[in-house]
Amino acid sequence: MADRYLSFTGTAPGRFLTRRLGLPQPAPLRRWSPERPHLEGGLLHLTAGESDLDLAPVLARTGLGTDDVSGRPAAVVLDASGIRDVEGLAGVHAALHPVVRSVTASGRVVVLGAPLDAADHHQAAAQQALEGFTRSLGKEIGRGRTVNLVRLTDAAAAESTLRFLLSPRSAYVSGQVIEVGAPGPAAPHDRDHPLAGRTALVTGAARGIGEAVAETLARDGAKVVVLDVPQAEQDARRVAERLGGLALPLDVTAADAGARIADALPDGLDVLVHNAGVTRDRRLVNMPAERWTQVLEVNLASVLRTTDALLRAGTLRRGGRIVATASIAGIAGNAGQTNYGASKAGVVGLVRSLAPRALAEHGVTVNAVAPGFIETRMTAAVPLFIREAGRRMNSLAQGGLPADVAETTAWLAHPASAAVNGQVVRVCGQSLLGA
Ligand code: NAD
């Protein structure tokens, strides 16, 4: 279902009218394409406080010019990791106040912070302040620009994250706080095809977001396995054929789903994307038990079962990646979705608990994407007014595309993202719900 309002505000009369009426002004987002893989313009690197981060070599590899920023910057990176007290926060204002206006449309502001120091409440207060700052600037900056915070201790470990956030691939990711841990073992990879030689399985990939994820992982060089219910086998085969992958018709709720995936992949698996999901909306007072159970089975119980089975069987190789799909409904809650909200919040719990153990015991990272309003068949079926609210009630004033979730998944699946673990990254244009 096309977003006609977005097209309308792109015309001169549309812009005039919606401005006069004080209506939202969504800017067309600049997304990744093979012809235009990088944002156009320079990168401005600013520092507030004393920083130990060795950022220059990492920023030099973002594809943005770091030498000449005499024009309007496409991105600003503010290294605020060294701020240890409230007084130091003045440096944030001093650095960004003069330059924010000049950042190009669809440009990026990335603030770098440090982990909160449990033994120093002044440092913790100042570093937590960066979170409120980031989320507030994200809400006011406009023109398709995004603002995110990365907490890190090592610049090289955060390279894949910074490259993602400073690129057009992160068009619909704003207001997020991402923690990057200690550097993992360096995994050799081809720069243009980072997943070459790796196998990725995406559940629910016959259509919608899952199809886009499979497409993006295949673009990055992975051999993809397109899993979907047997009823969707034809579509799954069509997708697999187009991407040079394999179709696997299977209901993820089958008790032996994990074993059947392991059997289908005797050479192992590198990337497991739990994307299959269903909604069966009703208010709790009207919800029969089977609607509750169906949603919890598909969205949560099967994710737990297959994850356990594939880790236990050793199908997921060391250096592997698990990316699960949560939802902002699991974070903010949503009327009519007690079953869905519970299932998606469960996914967040699974990720946070399993991530450190999976990394220590299996060398596998576990993260989640939490989509907001994404333009798919699922959301096209939503009644008009709720659909319009979903599209506009975020800082970018529009819905996201399946490709936005897919690019976020590809960053988490990247061989260089070993230090990104246990994160729940919302792909929601900074939705006002659950903000
Ligand atoms: P969709 O309905 O278009 O696609 C879901 C796919 O999962 C379908 O191909 C379906 O056949 C498959 N599937 C369902 N049950 C399955 C099962 N038991 N076994 C195997 N495959 C199964 O949905 P979508 O919009 O592409 O959503 C994908 C994921 O993103 C879901 O987990 C959804 O909850 C989540 N999500 C979507 C949005 C959105 O705005 N579209 C927002 C938040 C979260």
Indicate if ligand 1 lies below 6 Å from the C-beta of 399.
no
Residues 37 and 72 sit within 8 Å (Cβ to Cβ): no
Read off the pLDDT of residues 12-67 as tens digits, 9 standing for 90 and up: 887 788 777 778 788 999 999 999 999 999 999 999 999 999 999 999 999 887 76
CA gap 162, 154 in Å, rounded? 12
Look at residue 2 and tell me whether its pLDDT is greater than 80: no
Indicate if ligand 1 lies below 6 Å from the C-beta of 412.
no
Distance 298 CA to ligand 1 centre (A): 10
Ligand 1 atom closest to the CA of 390, numbered from 1: 40
- The mean pLDDT value of the chain amounts to 95
Read off the pLDDT of residues 349-405 as tens digits, 9 standing for 90 and up: 999 999 999 999 999 999 999 999 999 987 888 888 888 988 999 999 999 999 999
Instruction: Give nearest CA residue, ligand 1 atom 8.
Output: 204
Read off the pLDDT of residues 127-160 as tens digits, 9 standing for 90 and up: 999 999 999 999 999 999 999 999 999 999 999 9
Ligand 1 atom closest to the CA of 209, numbered from 1: 26
Ligand 1 atom closest to the CA of 276, numbered from 1: 7
Q: Which residues are catalytic?
A: 340
* Three-class HEC string of 246-298: EEEECCCCCCCHHHHHHHHCCCCEEEEEECCCCCCCECHHHCCHHHHHHHHHH
Q: Token digits for 412?
A: 């988490």
Query: Of the candidates 93, 110, 88, 98, which has an alpha carbon nearest to the alpha carbon of residue 43?
Result: 110
Between residues 169 and 10, the one the model is more confident about: 169
Indicate if ligand 1 lies below 6 Å from the C-beta of 276.
yes
Distance 362 CA to ligand 1 centre (A): 28
Indicate if ligand 1 lies below 6 Å from the C-beta of 391.
no
Read off the pLDDT of residues 169-213 as tens digits, 9 standing for 90 and up: 999 999 999 999 988 777 788 989 999 999 999 999 999 999 999
Distance 276 CA to ligand 1 centre (A): 4
CA gap 197, 415 in Å, rounded? 11
pTM for this predicted structure: 0.97
Indicate if ligand 1 lies below 6 Å from the C-beta of 229.
yes
Please name each of the domains of the chain with its CATH number.
Answer: 24-179 (3.40.50.720), 199-427 (3.40.50.720)
Indicate if ligand 1 lies below 6 Å from the C-beta of 209.
yes
